[in-house]
Structures are given as C-alpha cells and as structure tokens.
Structure 1
Amino acid sequence: MREVEGGLVGRAPEIESIRALLADVTDHGATIVVCGEAGVGKTALADAAVDYARWRGIDVLRAYGVEAEKDVPWATLHQLVHALRDRVADLPAPQRNALQVAFGESEGPQPSLFLTGLATLTLLSERATAAGLLVVIEDLHWADHATRAAIGFLVRRISSEPIVMLITSRSDEAADQLDATLEQHRLTLDPLSDTASRQLLDGQDPPLSPAARDLVLREALGNPLALIELSVAVRRGDWPLPGPLPLTKRLENAFAHRLTPLTAAERAVILTAAVGANGRQPDLVAAASRLHGDEVGSTAVDGLVRAGLLKQTAGEFRFRHPLVRSAVIQTATPDERTRAHLAVAELLPPGTDRRLWHLAVAAERPDDELAQALEHSATRAHSAGDMTTAMEAFRRAAELSPELEDRAYRNYLGAEAALAAGQVTEGKQLADQVSRQTTDRALLARVAWLLELFPGGAMQRGDLHTAITIADELHTSGNSDQAINILTTMSLHLWGSMPEGPIWSTMIERAEAYGADPADPRLLCLKAFGTPEENSQHVRKIVNGIDPSLIDDSEHLRLLGLALTNVGELERVESFLQPAMNGLRRDGRLSILALTMQSSAFDLYRHGRFRQMLDLSDESQRLAEEANEPFVAMAAHFCMLTAQAVLGEDIDLSSIRDAFPAAAIALDHNPFLVIEALTQGIADASHGRHQAAFEQLKRATDPTSPIYHWGWSLKEAFPWFIDAAVRSGHRDDALGALQRLEALPGLTATPLHRGYLVLARALLADGDDADDAYASATAPTHNPLPFWRARAQLANGERLRRQRRIKEARHELRQARDEFDRMHSRPWADLARAELSATGESSPRRKPDPGATLTPQEERIATLVVEGLTNREIAQRLFLSPRTVGAHLYATYRKLQVSSRAELGPALGLPS
C-alpha cells in the first residue's frame, strides 16, 4: 500500500504533529484540539488524519456537533456510540443502564454525566484494536453540553489507551473547557500565507484570470475555504457579492448560491439533513419524503453530492463544510425550518430527548403537554448533573406553558439549574421573571432563597436574618421540609467562616420548631456543627443507635457521618461514610463524592492510616477537578499535604495559588487560613523545627487569634500544638491549651478528645504523676489514636532515658519505632531510632517501603486488587477503563517486582 499523500497546502507542520501522535498510539493515547475560524481548514485536517489513520490500519470513529441539536442532551455522543451499539449489552450493568437511559432506550433515573462518560470510555477502550483507534469530534462548539462533559471525561483518561482523539472547534473557549493540559496538543490554524494561498489557487481548474485571481486573494484573506469557494463563485458568475460582509457570511452566501438550482426533492433532503444529525441515507430519505410530501429517491442525495454540498464517508452523508449547513438553515423560511424539524421528529422514537427538542423548536404556540414533557426532560438532565441543559429545557418549558403559575414554577427551576451551572446572569433573569409571574408565597420564598445563594446575596454579606426569614416563610406556607433544607445548607455554608455564635442556636431552634425529627440527619448535623459542647453526647447516642444498612439515601448517610466526625466519634464514622461514598460513586455524583472522601480521609488520619489518607485525598482532588470544583479540589490538596507532612515528605504551600488560581481567593479566608497554618505546623514538626511548628500551631489554637476555628483547632491542631509547645519550651502555652480543653466536658467525653486529653496530661506531667499519666496515654482503652499513642510512647521513652531508666525506655522506644514504621511515618520512626541508639541499642534498618514507589493511583488500585476486586470492578469504582487499570497494575508489578495479584498483599504488607 502506498503511503498517504499530505495533500494540504501550507499545513505540513500540523499534519506532521497529528501523524506523530497516530504513530505512537499503540504506546499511549493523546488528544489534539484543532481551533480556528470557519473555513480555515479544520475539517480538511481532520479528513487528512482519517485518511492517514486508515492507511495505517487504525480504526476510526467520527461524530459532529450540530447547531440545530446543541441543546439536545447526548445528541453528539449518540452519533459516536451508535457505531458501538452492538457492544453496549456487554457493559457492566450500571454503565449499560446509563447509556440506555441517556439515549431514551429504557426508563430509569437519569445517569450522571460522568457515569455516561465512563460507559463511553469502556466502549472505546474495548473497540480499540492493537493498531489503535482515532476518534474525531468535529465542531465541538456546537456539541451539546452533556456530550462536551463526556468528551472532557474521556480526554483526561485516554493516556493509557491506544486512542487518539482529534477535536475541532471554532471556539478556543469550548476547547479550554476540556482540560488545561491540552495546551501541549493544541493546534491553532492561522490563515495561509500569501505564498501558500497562491499555491492553492494554482491548483484550481480551470485557472482564474489574473484580475480575478488578485480579487480572490484580496477577499479570501488566506482562508482556504474562501479561496476555493470564492474561486468557484467567480467562475459561476455569482461573485463579487454586493456590500461589505464578514468573510464567514460571504462564504455562507457563496454556498447559498449553490442551493438555487436544487430541485424540490433535493432541497427537502438538504434541509432535513441541516436540522438533524443523522446522515444515514435511509433516514435522510425518509425524513425528506415527509417534508416533501412525496417519496424522495436516492437520486436526490446523489445530486447533492455531485453539487459539492454533501459528501459520503463510511456509509454516511455529511455536509462538505459546516457553513453549508448554516447556509441551508439561513436560506430556509421559518415555516420550512419548522416543517423540517417536525419531519425529523416523526422518525425519532417517542419519549426521546432528541424527538422532544425538535418538537420544542418547531412549537409556535403554548402547548401544555409539550411543556410537561420538557420539564420531565429537564428534571432528568438536572439529576444527571447537566445543569446547563436543564436550565435551557426549563426555560423553554416555561415559554410553552399556557398557565402563568406553571410558567413561574418552571422559570424557578431554570434559575435553580442556572445557579448550579454557575450562570449567574441567566439565573437572576429567570428569578426576576418568577417574581413577576406569581403571588405564591412559598414559590416567592424559594426564589428569595435562591437569590441568597447567588454571588452577592445577603447571607454572603453577613446578613443571616434574611435567610432565617425565608425559612420561616416556607414553614408558614406549609413547606417545612424545604425550610429545614435551607437551615442545613446555611450550616454547611457558614461553618467554615462562622463556626460559633448565636446563629447556630437559632437554626437548631428553628429546625425543631419546623418539626424536624430528633433523628433527622439534618438536625443532628446542625447540632454537631454548631453546639458540639452541648450536644456531642446527644448526637453520638442517637447516631450510634442508627443502623446505616437501613438507609438508602447517600446524603443522609453523609450527614450522619459528618455529625459523628464533628463530635469526635471514631469507631462508626466509616460505617456511614463508606456506604455514602458507594452510593455517590454509583450515581456518579462527583462533587459530593469528593467532599465526602475528604471527611473519610480525616477519619483515616485519626486512625493513623496516612498512606490511605493520601490515596483517598488524591482521588478526591482528581474527581473535584473532573467536576470543575476548584475549591473542593484545593481542599483535597490540603488533605494530601497533611498526609505527606506526617509521612515526612517535603511539602510546598507557596505553590497552591498557582495550582488553583480559580480558588486561590479562598486562601485569604477561614477555614483555609487555619488549615494552612495547621499543615505548615505539621510539616515543621515532622522535620524537627519545633519552634516554627509552635508558632504556626499557636495561631491555629489560640482563641484570640484571627484565624481560630474551634473545629480545626480542637479537633486537628490541638495535639500537634501541645507536642510542639512542650518540645520548644513553651510549657505554659501548652498548659493553657490543656486547661481550655478540660473546661469543655461535653467534648472531652468523646473518644477523640479523650485521647487528646490523656496525651496532653502525659506530655505535661512531671514527678510521680508522670508514670501514671503516660500509662493512660499509651493505653488503647484511654487513648484510641494510634499515632498519638506512639507519640506518647516516644515522649515517655525520651523521659525514661533522661532518668536513666534504660530498660523501660528501650521498651517504649521500640514500641514507638515499630508503630511509626507500620504507619510509614518516617521522621518520627527515625527519631525513635535515634533515641534508642542513645540508650546503646541499635535498631534494624528500616525496611524499604515498597508502597512509597507507587503513585497514589497505583497504590489505590493495588489495594483494591488485594481486596479481591477484578479490573472491571476497580475501573467502575475509580471511573477508569479496565485497560487503564491493567496498565497501572502492570506498572505496580514492575515496581514491586511481583508477577501476580496474589503477591501484591504481602509485597505491600496488606492482608491478602
């Protein structure tokens, strides 16, 4: 087979870049985004890539964004997956159901964007042959929002797949939304140079006259499509066109002139093709026949191909260029476009979103049945996390609603979706419409609360009375459950910056007055967050009496886990958080899942499982970035830094502003101020900088400090501060902190703070009381915190050595050393070894930690393998493809020098 020719004038570097990626596809996947104005050559470059891929034996899949279907959920993805439909039945059940529900092929809860993306990833991974797979997505700027989210999901996961994705877009913004790392494979096509433009014209037949040639060169401005089409227009006598027009419009007009001689049947075919996305000939002909009112034969399609308006690729017909589609739509009358949408809709299965949107576009007057169907579609999009589509669907449903109250309610739902999508202007506009369309007190109260949540709302300015008044209004109007939800949302918003104050008692009193059940997770969370000293025992008693296996609501499980965490419980936190995370994974709710992982990560921290904390925090950051939640991602990064600091790794807090520019403003406010001080204090302590640690941790634990936050100060920073204060000679400061904790009996009765209490008393003990104090601090029955028990054993060993009680000192120091080794906390293990050496006893060299050579992702996968999960099950849990799991597992085998799954557990020190 001869090599494919380049063929594109002036695009040699771009062709070479694409060919290089395709040549390496069997080693690793990649994404290349081609941006540029209309007609600059994106489609031609994609065609060249397809030709080259097929010449190399690489499989090709192709889909197109279509302007007429840009609001239809999954419209573009449906084109892509259609070629893989025979493999859908073999997908894991959650993924199979996700695709079938998304495409309207079965009923069920709308799947999340990410679960549908995962299903697509699995299909593409399994379709990819040994030679590789090229996936071409053209006109990303016209792809629907759901598809764009799924494509973003894919491009972040194909590095281990033999897949190259080539994406074209007129809009840099649309490409930027995929992933910032795509800059390394971003091609921006500029106009051709004058030399290349002349070369392109020289290849046209018949040649232009010198005058016409100069005119085309001057008007085309180096745009390849303009050079070709304006040359054709000159030869046809259709150009120059009158008046100063933008180049894109001139090209549309040039194509529009080609439409004039078409027959009625050909116009029916090309118009139905323009408003729909299906390029298969039987469907085109069927829709065109409905529009034409008579049977249309295949000869009409063939005529459009000969006219250079359509072209056939792999059994499907598509427009020669997107501007042809634009020209067809612009030249059609409103009535023709309406009838074309109806013709396309008649061919689509009833109940599908694509059919519904074509009907909605064609609707010219209020239609209650259609409005209800659109509201249902919008609700499903909302459940899937596709808030942009939901907003548009709710808005259109409102426009089609005959009744004013229905219109108001649907506009409210649209405003709610806009808030979730971060579209502030659109949301406020819809909210303003509601205020003019209804007098319903409950709905107006809900709108008022929505406006509170938009940037600049009264609550964000410190006015909490307005939110309480709104909750009261909802309760009075018979919407008590929504009123309690408002209080819960307030608590989650406020706790970071205002963890104390009378507002908490007010919210708790209101929730009880609204009729909240004593065991309602929302009420328990309010009490645990706002009044832990008063309510810690009450919350623990109620939650410990709840069986999590009887709860199927992930949010309720999460709130109960948060309540237990906040009141210092240790044993049952995971029994609520783990099933909550399982449910959130299953539903693909990545934002809330990432937050819940952080709560679980700190539970691991309290149990001394720092490596697992690091792995889970890494996953939380990945998922938060996936869900476009920069604040959540930054919080996850701090969790990772905390784990790394305890493990003795070097950390760099100065880079966080650069790493999270969209969230960096939060670093100037609590709780990030106190978290930053805590993290730096832990790092300083782990590296033996005890004075520096004391100074950082004093800021975090002193109630007069501007960054003081009782939760972070008393739950996380307290033991670090006591130890740093004692080691740096600030005994009085440590004693003051201990006395402040002792004055809170409601907290010190909890397992967490009971452990802190006996630790602090031991570190501050002297004389005859020290032996008993250290006995309590090192006993699991009194101190349930493994890391801090080991720290107490280290401190006790140091004390006993100074008292020359060498035998006792060695016993304590050995225990501390072995525990720190088990927890992989290198700096503290090294300190225990040094202290043992000072007693005259040498320690065995610390065994190399094989897990330290693994990335967090590799260690997470290896741990799940040890737990008995298959590659496919791991892929489902971690939102990866089985092939990617296999690649990580192969790297893990190589690093650990093992050859089977059975050897992983022993190699990592895990029970198999």
Structure 2
Amino acid sequence: MSAQHFLVGRAPEQATICGLLDRATEGGGALVLRGTPGVGKSALLDWAAGTAGDKFRVLRTVGSVTEFGLPYAALHQVMRSILGHRNRLTPKYRRALEVAFGRAPGAPPDLYTVAMAALELLVEAAAERPILLLADDAQWMDLASQQALAFLARRVTADRVVLLATHRDNEPGPLLDAAIPAVELAPLDADSAAVLLDGVAGGLDPKVRSLLLEAACGNPLALLELPRAVGGYYGANTDRLPLTARLENSFLTRIGELDVAGTTVLEVAALSDADDVAEIVAAAELLSESDNPPSLDPAVSAGLIVVDGGSVRFRHPLIRSAILQRLGPDRRRGCHAALARVLVDRPERSVWHRAGAALRPDAALAAELELRAEQAIERGAQAFAVRALERAAQLSVDRADRAARTYRAVVLAYTAGQPEAGERLRRHHRDLVETGHDGLRQEWLNELADGEHGGEQRIHTLLDFAERATVLGDDTLATDFLRAAALRCWNLWPGRPVGRQVIAAGERLAVADLPTRAQLLAYGSPFDSDETIRTLIDRVPPAARDAATAYRLAHAAACAGAFDVSEGLLTAAAERTRSEGHLHTLGRTLSLLAWSAMRRGSWSHAVVAAEESTRLCAETRQPFWEAASLVAHAMVAAFRGDFTTAEDLVAAAEHLNPRRFATIDAVALLARAAIASGQGRYEPAFTSLARLHDPADSAYHPAHALWSLASLAEAAVACGQVAAARSLLERLPAEVRATTSPAGRMNLAVARAVLADGDEPSFADAMAMDLTMWPYERYRLLFTYGMALRRRRRVRESRDHLRSARDGFDSLGAHPLAERARTELRAAGERSDSPATDVWETLSPQEIQIASMVARGLTNRDIAKSLFISHRTVGSHLYRMFPKLGITSRGDLRRIAAEHER
C-alpha cells in the first residue's frame, strides 16, 4: 500500500504544499519539513510528487547516513536529469557545474558560483515545465550540497521552482536558516493515528490495537511498521525501548528473514556512497559465497528498498541505520573493500572505500586522501576537504604528518564556518603536539577558536608567539599572530598604548606586506595613522589590488577614519568579489561599504549595501558583520525618521552580539542616540554617546566616540548638558585631540563650534573646513549656526543658513531635521512648505539596487549574476517597480535612477 494512500492527519501541511504548487506557474517557493524520524516527512514528499503529476518535472535527491559524501554529490543527484540544459548557461556557469561535478578540470569555482549556476540551470529547465525539487533527509547530504540547496531555497520565489526539503529535528544544517520557511511535523492526533492503524492492520485484537496505538505515540512509521512484528511487544522490557530503537528492531527482524545473498546486497547498499544498482550488485557478487547471484528482489518484496530504474533507495533511513548498526567491523571493512574494487576506475570515490577498509595506517592512502582534499578545496568544497584531511591524518604513519594534516583540517574547519568540527579536531591536534613549531601552531588554533578573551595580557602573549614564529622561520604564522594582536586592539582596546607595541613588533619583525602594515597601524593606532596608511595604499599597485587586498586596505583606511579612501576601495573590492562569487567576503565588504557610505552622506548607497550585506552575512553565518550591517541600516533609518524600523534593526543587531564585542555595543549606541535625537529626546541621546567615552563601559570605543562628537555636542546643547560635553572634550586623550583622522578632525571642529555658545570665530573655523565629504555634518552645522543667529535676533542672516540646511536635509532625505529647519525658517518669517513625497523612497533597497544597475545599462541577466538571484527574479522586481514609479520603460527608469544618485 502506498504512503500516499495512508497520508492522514496532514491537511494543513498538504494545503501549504498545494498553495506552492498552484502558484508555481507564476513564481515558486521553498518549504522545509522538520520532525522526528518516522513522523511522515518523506511521505509528504511522496504525496507532493504524486499531486504534482505530469504538470511538473520532479527532481529528487536523498541524503545518506554513510561515512562520507563526495562534494556536491546530492546536488549532482538532483541536477543530473536536467544537465542537458547547461548549454543555455553562460560559459562561466556551465564550467562551474562541470568542474564541481567532476566532469571537467578547471579553476576552482566558489561554492556560491556553483549554487548560482544550479539556480540558472533550474530556471532554464523550468521554462519548459515547472520544477518540483524534493530533497529528502537533507541533514545527511554533503555540506556543499546543503549550502547550495539553502542558496536555492532563498531565491526561487520568483521562479517556476518549488523546493521541498525534509530535515530531522536536533540536527544542524544550512536549510534551517530562519529566512527559509519551515513547518514542524507533530505526531498524529489520536483520531488520525487510529485511522492509519486500522487502514494497515484492520481486525486487530482490541488489546493489541490499544498497545500499538500507545507504543506508536502518533508516529506514522511506527503505525505502519509495528503491526508486522506485533509479537515482539510481549517480550521482556520492550516497552522501555525508545521508539526509534523499536522501529530499528522491527526492520532488523525483516532483514533477518532474508537469505545471505539478500542480506549482503542490503549491507553493500547501506555503505555505498551512491544509489547505482549495478555497482551495488557487482560489489555484493564479490562478497557472495554461493553460486546464486545476489538479487534485490527479496528486499523489495520485504518493503525495505525501492528500485527505480538504475537507482535504489531505502524506504526509510532507519532501515539503513539498522543495517549499519548490525554490521561488525570486519564485515564493514569487507563491504568497503568490495566497493573499492568495483570503483577502481573512479578513484575519487574508491579512495574513500579503501580508507573505510583500511585496518592500519597507510602512508600512500593518507597521501591520496590529502590530494583529494586539495581537489575538494579547488572545487569550493571545504567541508569535504576537512573530512578528507581528518581521515588522512588518522591513516598517517608518521606522527609529524598526522599533526600537520590535523592542523590543516582545523584551520580549514574554522575558516569554512565549521566551529564544531574545528573544536573537535583542535583537541586532537593538542594531543599530537609537544613543543616547538607544532606548539605554536596549536596556539594559533586556540586563537582561531577564541579571539576575544584574555585581555591585554593575551595581546602581549600573541606578540611573543610572533617573535618565536619568526625565529623558527615561519613568517606567515608570525604575521597571523601580529594581525590577531592588532585586531584585538581595535575590537577591544582601541587607542591604548598596547597598540603601539603591536606596531613596534611589526617593525621589529620587518613585516614587508603593505596591507598588513596598514592594518597594524590602523588597528593599533587609529588616531594618527591616516597619512601613513594613505601612503601605504598608494604604494600598492592597482594590478595587485585583488578583492582580498582591496578589502584589507579599505578596512585599514576605515579604521583610521579615512572614509573617502575606504569607500572607493570597498566599491572596487565589492565588484571584484561579485565577479568571483565569494559571498562570504562580499558580505563583509558590503558591511564596511555601508558604514563608509553612511558616514559620507551617501545614504541610498549605504542602505543598499547594508541590506544586501545583512542577507549575505546571515547566509554565510557571520553574526558580527550581520550585526554591523543592521546598525548601519538603522542609522540611516533614524536619520530619515523611520524610527520603528531603526529600533527593530538595532534590537536584531544586539541579539546577534552575545559575546559583547565593544565595536557592536558602540555602534548600537550610535544608532540609539540617532533615534532619540530624531525623536527630540536629547537627554538619552547624550547619555548614550557619553558612554562611548567611559573606559568602564562595555561600549567604550574611543574611535567611535571621536567620530560621534558632533552628534554628542548637538544633543548636549539641546538638553542643557553643555558643561558635561565640554568636560568630555577636555578629558580626551592627547593623541585623540591631536588626531590626523579626517573624520576625527571634522568632528572635533564641529563639536567645539556647537559648544561655543554661538561664538562666531568657532563657527567660522568649522565652516572654513572642507566639509564636502561630510554633507550631513555640514548641513547640521549650518542649521545650528542659523538657529544661533535667529536667537540673537539676526533674523535676515539666519535665513540663508537655515534655507541651505533645509535644502540639504531634503536632498539627503533627513526628514526630521528638514522639518526642524522649516520650523526655524517659519519662526524667522519665511514660509517653508514640506516637499511632495518622493515615490523613489517607496522602493525597497534591492529595487533601488536593481534600478541603479539598469541605469548603468546592465541587462537582467547581468544584474542577476551580480546580485546572485535569477534573471526571472530581476524581471519580477522591475514588473513591480514600473507602476510604483509611474513609468513604462527602462529608459524612464534610467532617468529617474540617475536623478536620485547621491
């Protein structure tokens, strides 16, 4: 009897899936079905496939709880039937899929380039017929495939693709991202459970029926399976077994009814990394001790497996789990050895089975696994490389080789976003090392695991490690320690004397790399390093500024307050990173770009960068940078008067900062101060900004304190805290007062003018500065001076300044201050009406980004590649934008976008 026939008690989930299928001709969607084993997740997928019928092309992939999974194995499984459409892709995407799936050699594609290629392939295939993509037991798929499927799930809303995935509870995975819709499957209610049981086992003795209903606890698989082994419920202590164990025992009972040949086929299938019938049968034949060839028919008849053409799959993962648990180590190695012999012409797969069959260390096999790890890295599958290096270390004969391979695996695990694997392997590495070079490497692993704790003493310790690494001739490790020490200075103790000690250590160790020298200066001494950093940046030839180098230089410039330099570098780095498909780095780059653009008054650019960065950093699991982007967005929302949005964004950022990074605490206070000032609550605004100056506060950050002095002064004047603000300025450290930072000098000048109680020379000094790159501060200064003049009854003079401030605030979209300027102008005797609402402001950040790209002449496909969405999604955005803006052509959009570039 089919699972579809017995699908009861799932009306809400069926309705949700039907809704997705019904809308698929216009746009798609994704849904993750979560739940415990046997709760009916796979049955819902089967039902969906049956419901879709011939209207959809159904693609299916299944995770496997085997000892390994080749990179992109599950993605290839689901895509292989539509690979014939790859000729419609651009050469870059076509090549990415061919290299990722091992069909061709080539340059290593980034994981997200592969995922984008898969999205485009799906969209091309869906042009003929909508696609239903089913991913069963996603938690057991190789990590590269899981990440690619999660990428697809976030982006198919405008495409004719419906993605349904199942995922076990209490198992981590990229598909459990909050941005991907999910439903939790609960056990069946009592009535539905009774209907299902009676449908598969009608006429049971009432007592047995009651026992089965009680034992199944509403689990559909238990209701289907346990009646087959009803006699087992009268054995000793069976009622104490967990439900999963009972089900596995039931499956083992049915497996035990097969002959040796039938059992052998199941054992090989359970250990196989593929679903190929021919491979499985061939390996089973090698293990057969009889003249009768192994057959899959008995297992099919017993309801344990399903054979579909040349593929075989277990009816439920618990069947495979039960088989694997009963396999002894000798039998397991024998099955692996047989599969390795069958796959002799597929070395990338056979090596894993040879590793599974290995009884003792094998230097040659370890070296081959290390080679496979290198190839996996080239294919953008770092998670697979971690597993390959770990197994290579286990099979290494030499202790030094074992330590070196484990070290590489740990570093790769941390950099690839696998902290759990990194922590486990770091403990293994610790047990392998003694002293010397390996001991220093272990210290670097400790820093990767915990780069925040330890205080100032930890910075000194890192400098000592750098010295020792230099003596050992490992300049790369020495530089890593130096950069880590400097970054601690910026994130935890900016401006303190220990920063200069880090810089001195870099000079003593003769660090030659220009970006590293710029970083050491910016992180260690941000207040007086601006000019030197600009010189170092100029010395890096444009040809040498790849995305990573441009990012490092830009971060240094931003930390030194040279936002004019950082904005340009970050814009170039973002474009290069887009073309390379490195979403992890792009997320960070856009976060920094959002702050640089926001500081310089380019608010539309800032919001676009912040919104995209937030999505990418959430997707690539970078909570620090996600929080930073949320706050940058919140700042602009507050400046524009959208206080509800700003509050929500700050709250989300604070939720992402459990480790209490001083940098995130500091910028969150900046946003809260901007919200309070915009609402006319100047006392809390001043209090928030004053906290940045208090060394005892968790948000203490002298750099951000310096860059917000203008805002602090204005809040102080408005709430009567002028004396307190002046005291803060007087107590600033000498190096802060003497800063060479452009942002710092501007803030000091504006703050002194605002706090000078209308003193004209102070205002004149501030106005004489070149404030071109600080439009918001320039207009605020004009506004403050205009108000001071009006209050001194110099009304005619005040109007010019107030009018300029009002127009400037309008151009920026700073609505609260624009309205205040209008109020002041009216008080000065000049009528000032509010401007008409600009429909451009009704667009979302991504719509503005798309409009900007249209203005640059990019096609929908070009835009899609840049934003990592499908071209159909781009078209859907444009379809909604045109009526909003009252236009009918791309030419009209180009004109309007050009008018709003600021």
Same fold (TM over 0.5): yes
**Alpha-carbon distance in structure 2 between the residues aligned to 1:231 and 1:765:** 87
Kindly state the Cα deviation for residue 329 of structure 1 after the two structures are TM-superposed: 3.9
**Alpha-carbon distance in structure 1 between the residues aligned to 2:820 and 2:654:** 38
Paired AA for residue 128 in structure 1: A
What is residue 128 of structure 1 aligned with on the other side?
Answer: 126
Kindly state the Cα deviation for residue 420 of structure 1 after the two structures are TM-superposed: 4.5
Kindly state the Cα deviation for residue 483 of structure 1 after the two structures are TM-superposed: 0.8
2:662 is paired with a residue whose SS is: coil
What is residue 565 of structure 1 aligned with on the other side?
Answer: 558
Paired AA for residue 53 in structure 1: A
What is residue 412 of structure 1 aligned with on the other side?
Answer: 407
2:491 is paired with a residue whose SS is: coil
Kindly state the Cα deviation for residue 399 of structure 1 after the two structures are TM-superposed: 0.6
Write out per-residue CA displacement over residues 529-574 of structure 1, whole angstroms, 9 at most, x where no aligned residue: 222344332222232343334322x332222112222323243323
What is residue 635 of structure 2 aligned with on the other side?
Answer: 642
Residues 732 and 256 (structure 1 numbering): CA distance in 2 closer, same or farther, change over 3 Å?
Answer: closer
Aligned partner (choices 592, 596, 599) of residue 606 of structure 1: 599
What is residue 158 of structure 1 aligned with on the other side?
Answer: 156
What is residue 881 of structure 1 aligned with on the other side?
Answer: 870
What is residue 743 of structure 2 aligned with on the other side?
Answer: 752
What is residue 664 of structure 2 aligned with on the other side?
Answer: 672
What is residue 721 of structure 1 aligned with on the other side?
Answer: 712
User: What is the aligned residue count?
Assistant: 897
Kindly state the Cα deviation for residue 192 of structure 1 after the two structures are TM-superposed: 6.3
1:848 is paired with a residue whose SS is: coil
2:134 is paired with a residue whose SS is: strand
1:680–1:696 contact (8 Å) kept in structure 2: yes
1:61 is paired with a residue whose SS is: strand
**Alpha-carbon distance in structure 2 between the residues aligned to 1:726 and 1:581:** 40
Kindly state the Cα deviation for residue 880 of structure 1 after the two structures are TM-superposed: 1.8
**Alpha-carbon distance in structure 2 between the residues aligned to 1:746 and 1:173:** 53
Residues 176 and 145 (structure 1 numbering): CA distance in 2 closer, same or farther, change over 3 Å?
Answer: closer
Kindly state the Cα deviation for residue 312 of structure 1 after the two structures are TM-superposed: 3.9
Residues 512 and 308 (structure 1 numbering): CA distance in 2 closer, same or farther, change over 3 Å?
Answer: same
Task: After TM superposition, list the pairs within 5 Å mapping 1:483-494 onto structure 2.
Answer: 483-494=478-489
2:29–2:161 contact (8 Å) kept in structure 1: yes
Q: Percent identity?
A: 35
Task: After TM superposition, list the pairs within 5 Å mapping 1:457-476 onto structure 2.
Answer: 459=454, 463-476=458-471
What is residue 542 of structure 2 aligned with on the other side?
Answer: 548
What is residue 894 of structure 1 aligned with on the other side?
Answer: 883
Paired AA for residue 361 in structure 2: P
1:216–1:227 contact (8 Å) kept in structure 2: yes
2:265–2:280 contact (8 Å) kept in structure 1: yes
Aligned partner (choices 143, 146, 150) of residue 144 of structure 2: 146
**Alpha-carbon distance in structure 2 between the residues aligned to 1:277 and 1:217:** 36
Task: After TM superposition, list the pairs within 5 Å mapping 1:267-416 onto structure 2.
Answer: 269-282=265-278, 284=280, 300-301=295-296, 304-313=299-308, 316-330=311-325, 334-345=329-340, 353-379=348-374, 388-416=383-411
Paired AA for residue 678 in structure 2: S
Kindly state the Cα deviation for residue 394 of structure 1 after the two structures are TM-superposed: 2.2
Aligned partner (choices 519, 527, 532) of residue 526 of structure 2: 532
**Alpha-carbon distance in structure 1 between the residues aligned to 2:242 and 2:677:** 65
Write out per-residue CA displacement over residues 337-376 of structure 1, whole angstroms, 9 at most, x where no aligned residue: 4344345455669677544433322333322233223234
What is residue 48 of structure 2 aligned with on the other side?
Answer: 49
1:28–1:161 contact (8 Å) kept in structure 2: yes
Residues 759 and 199 (structure 1 numbering): CA distance in 2 closer, same or farther, change over 3 Å?
Answer: closer
**Alpha-carbon distance in structure 2 between the residues aligned to 1:386 and 1:11:** 37
What is residue 74 of structure 2 aligned with on the other side?
Answer: 76
**Alpha-carbon distance in structure 2 between the residues aligned to 1:896 and 1:652:** 23
Write out per-residue CA displacement over residues 654-676 of structure 1, whole angstroms, 9 at most, x where no aligned residue: 65786368634345x62333323
Kindly state the Cα deviation for residue 708 of structure 1 after the two structures are TM-superposed: 3.6
Kindly state the Cα deviation for residue 387 of structure 1 after the two structures are TM-superposed: 5.8
Residues 421 and 853 (structure 1 numbering): CA distance in 2 closer, same or farther, change over 3 Å?
Answer: same
Kindly state the Cα deviation for residue 310 of structure 1 after the two structures are TM-superposed: 2.9
Paired AA for residue 720 in structure 1: S
**Alpha-carbon distance in structure 1 between the residues aligned to 2:591 and 2:245:** 52
Write out per-residue CA displacement over residues 143-178 of structure 1, whole angstroms, 9 at most, x where no aligned residue: 222222223223222333333322223334347862
Kindly state the Cα deviation for residue 644 of structure 1 after the two structures are TM-superposed: 1.1
Paired AA for residue 706 in structure 2: L
Kindly state the Cα deviation for residue 87 of structure 1 after the two structures are TM-superposed: 2.7
Kindly state the Cα deviation for residue 9 of structure 1 after the two structures are TM-superposed: 4.1
2:624–2:664 contact (8 Å) kept in structure 1: no
Is 1:193 matched with 2:190? Answer: yes
- TM-score by length of structure 2 reads 0.88
Paired AA for residue 135 in structure 2: I
1:645 is paired with a residue whose SS is: helix
Of residues 638-647 and 169-178 in structure 1, the stretch that sits farther from structure 2 once superposed is 169-178
Paired AA for residue 78 in structure 2: L
Is 1:575 matched with 2:568? Answer: yes
Paired AA for residue 608 in structure 1: G
Task: After TM superposition, list the pairs within 5 Å mapping 1:425-444 onto structure 2.
Answer: 427=422, 430-439=425-434, 441-444=436-439
Kindly state the Cα deviation for residue 613 of structure 1 after the two structures are TM-superposed: 1.0
1:156–1:179 contact (8 Å) kept in structure 2: no
Paired AA for residue 609 in structure 1: S
Kindly state the Cα deviation for residue 219 of structure 1 after the two structures are TM-superposed: 5.6
1:484–1:516 contact (8 Å) kept in structure 2: yes
CA RMSD of aligned residues (A): 3.8
Residues 657 and 683 (structure 1 numbering): CA distance in 2 closer, same or farther, change over 3 Å?
Answer: closer
Task: After TM superposition, list the pairs within 5 Å mapping 1:165-204 onto structure 2.
Answer: 165-174=163-172, 178-180=176-178, 185-191=182-188, 193=190, 196-197=193-194, 200-204=197-201
Residues 636 and 365 (structure 1 numbering): CA distance in 2 closer, same or farther, change over 3 Å?
Answer: same
**Alpha-carbon distance in structure 2 between the residues aligned to 1:114 and 1:253:** 42
**Alpha-carbon distance in structure 1 between the residues aligned to 2:523 and 2:161:** 48
What is residue 830 of structure 1 aligned with on the other side?
Answer: 819
Write out per-residue CA displacement over residues 757-791 of structure 1, whole angstroms, 9 at most, x where no aligned residue: 54345445678x72x76566446746542222222
Paired AA for residue 862 in structure 1: A
Aligned partner (choices 673, 683, 692) of residue 681 of structure 1: 673
- TM-score by length of structure 1 reads 0.88
**Alpha-carbon distance in structure 1 between the residues aligned to 2:890 and 2:565:** 31
Residues 221 and 407 (structure 1 numbering): CA distance in 2 closer, same or farther, change over 3 Å?
Answer: same
What is residue 99 of structure 2 aligned with on the other side?
Answer: 101
Gaps of 5+ in 2: none
1:83 is paired with a residue whose SS is: helix
**Alpha-carbon distance in structure 2 between the residues aligned to 1:425 and 1:781:** 51
**Alpha-carbon distance in structure 2 between the residues aligned to 1:692 and 1:746:** 25
Residues 304 and 477 (structure 1 numbering): CA distance in 2 closer, same or farther, change over 3 Å?
Answer: same
Paired AA for residue 507 in structure 2: E
Write out per-residue CA displacement over residues 433-455 of structure 1, whole angstroms, 9 at most, x where no aligned residue: 43443456122101022224434
Gaps of 5+ in 1: none
1:84 is paired with a residue whose SS is: helix
Residues 796 and 407 (structure 1 numbering): CA distance in 2 closer, same or farther, change over 3 Å?
Answer: same
Of residues 601-610 and 845-854 in structure 1, the stretch that sits farther from structure 2 once superposed is 845-854
Paired AA for residue 18 in structure 1: I
1:169 is paired with a residue whose SS is: strand
1:458–1:464 contact (8 Å) kept in structure 2: no
2:551–2:589 contact (8 Å) kept in structure 1: yes
**Alpha-carbon distance in structure 2 between the residues aligned to 1:776 and 1:457:** 41
